[in-house]
Amino acid sequence: MSGTIKLDDIAIFLAVASSGSMTKVADRHDLPKSSVSRIIRRLEEQFGVRLFERSTRHLRLTEDGRHLVEQTRPLVDRLQETIEQSVTHADSLQGVLRISAPYEFGLMRLGEVVTDLLGSHPGLEINLDLSSRTPDPRAEDYDIVFRVQAGDLPDSDQVARRVYAFQRGLFAAPALLNRLGNPANLSELTAMPCLGSPDEPVWSLIDQENQLHEFQPFCRLRTLNAAMRLQGIVAGLGVGMISLNYCREALKRGDIVPILENWSCLPARVYALLPARRLMPQKVMVFLDALEMKLAKPLAEVRPVSPR
């Protein structure tokens, strides 16, 4: 190893390793792409190894590059957290907070928290990515990744904080019920077409005696996007399991109606996935605390339209 290794160079290397793009890192840090490329080359010369395999379209870590990420990321994260804890106060948040969330949850629940914090903390920036993808904050450059999960998280090693649980119900369009009949029991429901999520192949329902029943619905459409599922329910394509809060406007209009109302669905849980850190940055703590206060206030209740 030759020369003095700069901490800023390591931070740039880790950012490139997370994003897989020198261009994205250059834009994020307001640097010329040539400067980022020069930093990577300098590190490769200092360590005497090749850190990335490069092609015209792809940038991939070498084995030595992956080893360097594993060795340096915890140290850089801990140093960054220590600095933030020492210079940042709850009334003066600084820096960029990077968040990923499902589209529907972000739209319905995060907007007010984001605008309130940005209005209260001029030094804070928030990058909010709303999509159906669930990135791993341990491998990608996110401070918080929100994930909606029916049941417990499959990865017990993931650092997570449960922030919310929402009740769901079964809904169908009146036209579908007129055509196929309104199911009176689970057996009749299993014979009907459904719309579901690919990460929930089995539906869990609780009957009037508080007994749990599981079945695999026949889904003509599977998508993580709740808006698309709701559109399919309204169109009469099948029965859907969806949050009452999300479909409240369709309920008010009578576009859809609840079915099997004496049965209940297992709630869906929202987790905040975090990088593997011992100290939580102040900006993350403030955001999650503000979100917790926001989630404590229920959305306006909706009176469903009775089936026709």
Which of the following CATH numbers is that of domain 168-266: 3.40.50.1100, 3.40.190.290, 3.40.50.360, 3.30.70.20? 3.40.190.290
| Average pLDDT of span 276-305 | 70
* Burial (Cβ within 10 Å: 0-12, 13-18, ≥19) of residue 204: middle
Residue 308 or residue 146, greater confidence:
146
* Burial (Cβ within 10 Å: 0-12, 13-18, ≥19) of residue 308: exposed
CA distance 184 to 198: 26
Residue 193 pLDDT exceeds 80: yes
Ranges of each domain in the chain: 7-87, 95-166+269-295, 168-266
CATH class held by domain 7-87: mainly alpha
| Confidence band for 148, pLDDT divided at 50, 70 and 90 | confident
Between 73-77, 127-131, 176-180, 194-198, the lowest mean confidence (pLDDT) is in 73-77
Per-residue model confidence (pLDDT) at position 308: 37
Which of the following CATH numbers is that of domain 95-166+269-295: 1.10.3720.10, 3.40.190.10, 3.30.750.24, 3.40.50.2300? 3.40.190.10
| Confidence band for 119, pLDDT divided at 50, 70 and 90 | very high
| pLDDT tens, position by position, 159-188 | 888 888 888 999 999 999 999 999 999 999
Cβ–Cβ under 8 Å, residues 16 and 60? no
Average pLDDT, the chain: 84
Cβ–Cβ under 8 Å, residues 181 and 199? no
**Placement of tokens 């709701």 in the chain:** 230
Cβ–Cβ under 8 Å, residues 205 and 262? no
Per-residue model confidence (pLDDT) at position 136: 80
Per-residue model confidence (pLDDT) at position 173: 97
Domains 95-166+269-295 and 168-266 share a fold: yes
Q: Which residues contact 240 (CB under 8 A, 6 or more apart)?
A: 170, 171, 172, 194, 195, 196, 229, 230, 232, 233
Nearest-5° angle of CA 256, CA 299, CA 151?
75
Residue 200 pLDDT exceeds 80: yes
| Confidence band for 277, pLDDT divided at 50, 70 and 90 | low
pTM of the model: 0.63
Per-residue model confidence (pLDDT) at position 109: 87
Between 3-17, 101-115, 204-218, the lowest mean confidence (pLDDT) is in 3-17
